[in-house]
Amino acid sequence: MESVRSRRWLRISGFLNFWRVFRKNPLGLIGVVILACFLFIAIFCPVLSPYDPEATVGEIAAPSSPANIFGTDQLGRDNFSRVLYGTRISLILGITAAAIAVFIGTTIGVASGYFGKGSGEILMRFTDMFLVLPQLALMIILAALLGRSIYIIMMVVGVTVWPLMARIVRSEVLSLKQRPFVERAVSIGCGDFHIVLKHILPNVLPLITANAILTIPWAIISESTLSFIGLGDPTVVSWGSILTSAFKNSAIMLGLWHWFIPPGLAIVLLCVSFALIGHVADEVLNPRLRR
Amino acid sequence: MLFEIKDLQVEYSVPGGIAEAVNKASLNVAEGESLGLAGESGCGKTTLGNAILRILPGGGQITGGRIDLNGVDLVKLREEEMRQVRWRDISMIFQGAMNSFDPTMIIENQIAEGILIHQRGTSKETALKRTRELLGLCEISPLLGKRYPHELSGGMKQRACIAMALALQPKLLIADEITTALDVMTQAQIFTLLRDMRRKFSLSMIIVSHDLTVLAKNCDRLAIMYAGHIVEVGTIEDIFEHPQHPYVKGLLFCIPSFAGDREIIAAIKGAPPSLLDPPRGCPFHPRCPISIPECEVEVPQLVSVNTNNHSVACYRKDYKGDIWK
Amino acid sequence: MNNGTVLEVRNLKKYFVKSAGILSALVGEKKRHVRAVDDVSFSISKGEVFCVAGESGCGKTTLGRTILKLLQSDDGQIIFQGQDITRLKSDSMRKLRTKMQMIFQDPYESLDPRAKIYDSVAEPLVVNHLVEDEKEKRNKVIQALELAGLSPVENYLYKYPHNLSGGERQRVGIATALVLDPEFMVADEPTSMLDVSVQANLLNLLKKLRREKSLTYLFITHDLSVAYALSDRLAIMYLGKIVEMGPAAEVVMSPIHPYTRALISVVPAINLSKNQKPIILPGETPNPENVITGCRFHPRCYCKVERCLTEEPPLMEITPGHYAACFVQEKMKSKEDRK
């Protein structure tokens, strides 16, 4: 009975620890709150938006009015609804691209780090090849070959970011390999796979998570950039595409701030929130740093 | 009496509250004398050393007591005045000092730099000359002085630290665990050097270590700390032959006996108390086999045992039997 | 070799190659070898505590790891319970590992910081498929922790290493070794990072375990007073070689080799009781990369002769069971014998 009680208490105290660390970091908390708002918007945007983002509901490039808080774009579509729906794309895009980068980067990084000389070195050279790929050029080529699609963008960002992840993971794995507790694992008879899964990966996790979280803003901004130069997916509502159309339609000159500021601000806020969370993530996930 | 500490109180504010790192500590060092400060980890000996030089890390504060050097109370000095005292009157070799050399400067330049900063107006040549003299005294050849820290062995680096500490000929030297990371032979060399320095410059020393036997060989007197309190002070003979405090008796048992049976009596069980929430009264009473209700009420003060300078902080100092068997 | 020998090491060698950088390789600089373990031989009988002592850089840690096959030896033989395991592949080695375990030096680093104590202690059982169900696993884990002196056990099972003190962590380390019910333990300086009072407790635990579980130990330490208190036989290493070997009490109280004599004379704990004049050797232990002709100790020796500079002395039996690698001492002894 004693042990069951203490087990439950330790699990609860695990959450309390989590909460305590976040509480101590007001910045992290702000990041979480902002992200929560965006998540809420992303999930409930059909309910929250007054209009269908693709439907023409007003005059072309109309200024802000009670009917259209952010005005309308060059096709008369409500900007407010478009910004709300844009949240979905940004989040999905960011998370998927980061996931691709993490998956490939971690696998190659761990393999390269664990196997050291020989195959490890070969993997590193392979990584270096991808490291030098220019994101933009790749995007243009693929867009030309396969058409402009949001999936291509996700893939390109993932494929150009994973080498950095692999390098970081590799150096961490190399240093972890030297630590006595890995030596101990060998001495008690653990096989390589077990050591990697149970000892190396969990200890690399904080680093991966922190980096993954910081990859997401990069992906979102990359998409905006690509949209801006005309490589974005025209069938999808993204903040980048809203910004692009605002720019192309001289919104700045016409003083139509309601058109281009909201999406720009949204990008900044979402990226900042991820940055703040990533900042705190390491401390939360690393039991050793917790005091 | 060259140097005296009276009822020193040092506190740290840490996330969990206030930790009483040093609790009403009193000790004294005569001119030319070597006092050993012993205790296990967390007992406050390093904090005491840092407090003397008023270089406590952030969160640490001296909240009471006096530190008297030749009549001047160091606790009351302003920072500018204290800066004059540091290194000139009192010098310290920190734990891990040998690893805190700047890796991008050669050894003699680092020591000379310190001299230049403290004695403005000295020319660089004079400072370097003095540095080389010091290094020579510490048995580091001029050639070695021109090397980078990573090219020197642990023992040599430690000797360079000693040279640096003695650069301005201080009256008191505090050496904090200077041989913990060194081999026993190198340790012997370092202490021989220190002994020579002591004789040459009539230097007083406070040697801080967790190793009682090292202190026994290299000090005149010994003070033992537990959980921030000084629990016993005396000459080496007093402490080793007639220990009074139960903790000290227990510690001595942990040293393997070379007399016959090769036993280590693992007398003391348990762990030291948390400094955030220390027990009432004597800090050792939870682990003490002969504690009485009186021990839980008030902290025992250091009282004389017999004559010369042997004092113990224990209500049961007159207990005659075997405590730890 | 009788049935009572658990471990026999013959002419064991382990060298590390200090790889030159690309630039030096281009210039043609030869690779340098660090002869960490250079022709070491000894045997350990069942139930014995055999101690290898020496200063840092003498090769004792490398020796321990090489014997347990955490490092691959370069020459010589390791014979464990009659079986030559020198060239055994890691798969076959895994089965043997349950019998030979290691206690590590650093209690702060040798446990996985992200694993709970229960999982750390259970892991050896899991990877070796030694338990059938959760209940059996739990019982064995609790048993091991209790044997290691951690009680009440429930207080420790679900904590993380950073919640425990150094001494407690070290006990957990011992528990992870004990849970496999090994016969042979290599203890690599298990107490050097602990306080004196904690150290005393832990050493007594090791003594107790040896009695109760009939364990055989290879104990590695730099602390001669600990070696004296714990071991039956003691070997002193210097620059990769064993320079003296014999019954622990004899080696400490009547050392033969000049290095051992000097070393014993400067250990404060031993010196306190003997009160002899310390022999302080000049200089420091030389860099193991540099090759020294003749006796490795001669540059610092205070009683060398011509022969010592050119010929390397083997381990010779000076008094029954007590060996030393020194021509001068051997000569003195045989002179005495002839008298």
Residue B236 in any domain: the answer is no
* CA angle centred on C16, ends C15 and C18, rounded to 5°: 140
User: Could you tell me the pLDDT band of residue B249, with boundaries at 50, 70 and 90?
Assistant: very high
Question: What pLDDT is recorded for position A38?
Answer: 92
Residue A18, pLDDT score: 62
For residue B152, the enclosing domain spans 3-226
The answer to whether C162 and C79 have CB atoms below 8 angstroms apart is: no
Confidence band, pLDDT 50/70/90 cuts, at residue C53: very high
Kindly state whether residue A1 falls inside one of the protein's structural domains: no
Say whether residue C63 is in contact with chain B using an 8 A CB cutoff. no
Domain range enclosing C316: 5-99+182-338
| Chain A residues with beta carbon closer than 8 angstroms to that of C124 | 188-189
Chain A closest-CA separation from residue C249 CA (Å): 32
* CATH number of the domain that residue C208 is part of: 3.40.50.300
pLDDT at A290: 45
**Are B184 and C222 an interchain contact pair (Cβ–Cβ within 8 Å)?**
yes
Please check whether residues B182 and B268 belong to one and the same domain.
no
Mean pLDDT score, C196-215: 90
Side chain identity, residue A48: L
Q: A125 CB near a chain C CB, below 8 Å?
A: no
- Asked if A86 and A77 touch (Cβ cutoff 8 Å), the reply is no
Q: Which of A14-28, A31-45, C293-307, C316-330 shows the lowest per-residue confidence on average (mean pLDDT)? A: A14-28
Render pLDDT for B104-146 as a digit per residue (tens, 0 to 9): 999 999 999 888 888 888 888 999 999 999 999 998 988 999 9
In a domain, C140, yes or no: no
C109 within a domain of the structure (yes/no): no
Cβ of residue A13 closer than 8 Å to a chain C Cβ:
no
**Of the candidates C70, C105, C106, which has its C-beta nearest A187's C-beta?**
C70
The reported pLDDT for the residue numbered C218 is 96
Total domains in chain B come to 2
Residue B41, phi-psi category: left (phi > 0), alpha (psi -120 to 50), beta (remainder): beta
* Range picked from A56-60, A254-258, B295-299, B305-309 for highest mean pLDDT: B295-299
pLDDT, average across residues B80-96: 89
Task: Please give the pLDDT value at position C51.
Answer: 96
Residue C75 pLDDT: 93
Cβ contact (<8 Å) for C154 and A191?
no
Strand partners, C17: C33
Question: CB of B250 within 8 Å of any CB in chain C?
Answer: yes
CA distance B21 to B230: 11
Q: Is C91 domain-assigned?
A: yes
Amino acid in position C320 = P
A277: confidence class by pLDDT, cuts 50, 70, 90: confident
| Contact status of B269 with chain C (Cβ, < 8 Å) | yes
C98 has a chain A CB within 8 A of its CB: yes
Nearest residue of A to residue C68, measured between CA atoms:
A187
* Tally of structural domains, chain A: 1
Q: Do B211 and C268 touch (CB under 8 A)?
A: yes
Domain assignment present for residue B237? The answer is no
Q: Which pLDDT does position A4 carry in this prediction?
A: 43
Higher pLDDT, B269 or C265: C265
* Cα separation, B311 vs B313, whole angstroms: 7
pLDDT (0 to 100) of residue B260 = 67
Query: Considering only residues 227 to 256 of chain C, which have any Cβ-Cβ distance to chain A shorter than 8 Å?
Result: none
Tell me if C200 and B271 make a contact (CB, 8 A cut-off): no
Residue A246: pLDDT over 50? yes
Report which DSSP code applies to C81: T
Yes or no, beta carbons of B254 and C267 under 8 Å apart: no
- Domain contains C242: yes
Which of B174, B192, B226 is the C-terminal boundary of a domain?
A: B226
pLDDT of A131 above 70 = yes
Q: What percent of chain B has pLDDT over 90?
A: 58
Q: DSSP secondary structure string, C156-214? A: HHT--GGGS-HHHHHHHHHHHHHTT--SEEEEESTTTTS-HHHHHHHHHHHHHHHHHHT
Give the nearest partner residue to C269 out of B155, B187, B255, using CB atoms.
B255
Residue A3: the pLDDT is 40
Which residues span the domain enclosing A82?
12-285
Pick from A11-20, A75-84, C311-320 the range whose average pLDDT is largest. Answer: C311-320
ipTM of the shown complex: 0.87
Across A89-93, B254-258, C45-49, least confident range: B254-258
pLDDT at A5: 44
Structural contact between residues B148 and B106, judged by C-beta atoms closer than 8 angstroms: yes
Q: What is the mean pLDDT of chain B?
A: 89
Give the model's pLDDT for residue C114. 84
The answer to whether residues B29 and B77 belong to one domain is yes
C301 touches chain B (CB under 8 A): no
Question: Chains near A, with 3+ CB pairs < 8 A?
Answer: C
**C82-110 pLDDT, tens digit each:** 999 998 888 888 888 889 999 999 988 88
- Assess if residue C294 is contained within a domain: yes
CB C319 within 8 A of CB C336: no
A253 reaches C (C-beta below 8 A): no
Q: Cβ–Cβ of A287/C114 closer than 8 Å?
A: yes
Quick one: pLDDT at residue B258? 74
CATH number at residue A94: 1.10.3720.10
Confidence of residue C28 (pLDDT cuts 50, 70, 90): low
Residue C166 lies in a domain: no
Same domain, B46 and B123: yes
| CA nearest to C105 within chain A | A180
Which residues in chain B touch residue C272, judged by CB atoms under 8 angstroms apart? 213, 216-217, 240, 258
Are B62 and B110 part of one and the same domain?
yes
For the whole model, what pTM was predicted? 0.83
Q: Is the predicted pLDDT of residue C27 greater than 80, yes or no?
A: no
| CB of C222 less than 8 A from some CB of B | yes
Q: Does residue A6 register a pLDDT over 50?
A: no
Query: Using one digit for the tens of pLDDT, what is the confidence trace for C118-161?
Result: 999 999 999 988 888 999 999 999 999 999 989 889 989 999 99
The mean per-residue pLDDT over the stretch B3-18 comes to 90
Task: Judge whether residue A65 has pLDDT over 60.
Answer: yes
Both tokens of residue C119? 């999982």
Domain for residue C105, yes or no? no
pLDDT of residue C239: 94
| pLDDT per residue as tens digits for the range C286-337 | 888 888 889 999 999 999 899 999 999 999 999 999 999 999 888 887 787 7
The rounded mean pLDDT for chain A is 82
Chain C residues 91-130 within an 8 A CB cutoff of chain B = none
Among candidate residues B226, B259, B274, the one where a domain is terminated: B226
Query: Are B215 and B275 within one domain?
Result: no
Chain A positions touching C114 (Cβ under 8 A) are 202-203, 287
Give yes or no for a contact between B316 and B247, defined as CB atoms under 8 angstroms apart.
no
C190 pLDDT above the threshold of 60:
yes
The pLDDT, as a whole number, for residue A283 is 65
Angle at Cα C37 formed by Cα C36 and Cα C38, nearest 5°?
115
Chains that touch B (3 or more CB pairs under 8 A): C
Q: How confident is the model at residue A19 (pLDDT cuts 50, 70, 90)?
A: low
Residue pairs between chains B and C whose CB atoms are closer than 8 Å: 100
Gap between the Cα atoms of C160 and C142, Å rounded:
16
| Neighbour subunits, C (≥3 Cβ pairs < 8 A) | A, B
Pair (B272, B150) in one structural domain: no
**B32 and B62 co-located in one domain:** yes
For the cut 70, the answer to whether the pLDDT of residue A161 exceeds it is: yes
Q: Which range among A205-209, C22-26, C247-251, C253-257 shows the weakest confidence by mean pLDDT?
A: C22-26
In terms of domains, do B111 and B177 share one? yes
One domain for residues B323 and B191: no
Total number of domains in chain C: 1
- Which of B297, B282, B267 shows the shortest CA–CA distance to B229? B282
A225 inside domain: yes
Report pLDDT digits (tens) over B201-233.
Answer: 899 999 999 999 999 999 999 999 999 999 999
Query: What is the C-alpha separation between B159 and B15, in angstroms, rounded?
Result: 38
**Does residue B30 register a pLDDT over 70?**
yes
In a domain, B235, yes or no: no
Burial A238-265 (b: 16+ CB within 10 A, else e): bbbbbbbbbeebebeeeebbbbbebbbe
The domain spanning residue B213 has which CATH number? 3.40.50.300
Cross-chain CB nearest to C228 (options B156, B183, B258)? B258
Residues B130 and B173 in one domain: yes
Residue contact B266–C226, C-beta within 8 A: no
Checking if the pLDDT of A90 tops 90, the result is no
Question: Among all residues of chain C, which has the CA nearest to that of A9?
Answer: C158
Q: Look-up: residue for tokens 């955030």?
A: B276
On whether residue C190 sits in a domain, the answer given is: yes
Bigger pLDDT: B254 vs C242: C242
Q: Give the pLDDT band (50/70/90) at residue C215.
A: very high
The answer to whether the Cβ–Cβ distance between C252 and B258 falls below 8 Å is yes
pLDDT at B312 > cutoff 80: yes
Q: In the predicted model, is pLDDT for residue B50 greater than 50?
A: yes
Taking one residue from A and the other from C, the number of pairs with CB-CB distance under 8 angstroms is: 77
Kindly tell me if the per-residue pLDDT of C2 is higher than 90. Answer: no
Mean pLDDT for C180-203 is 91
| Structure-block tokens of residue A138 | 């790749």
Cβ atoms of residues C217 and C185 within 8 Å: yes
Residue B231 lies in a domain: no
Q: What pLDDT, on a 0 to 100 scale, did the predictor assign at position C262?
A: 94
Q: Is residue A64 part of a domain?
A: yes
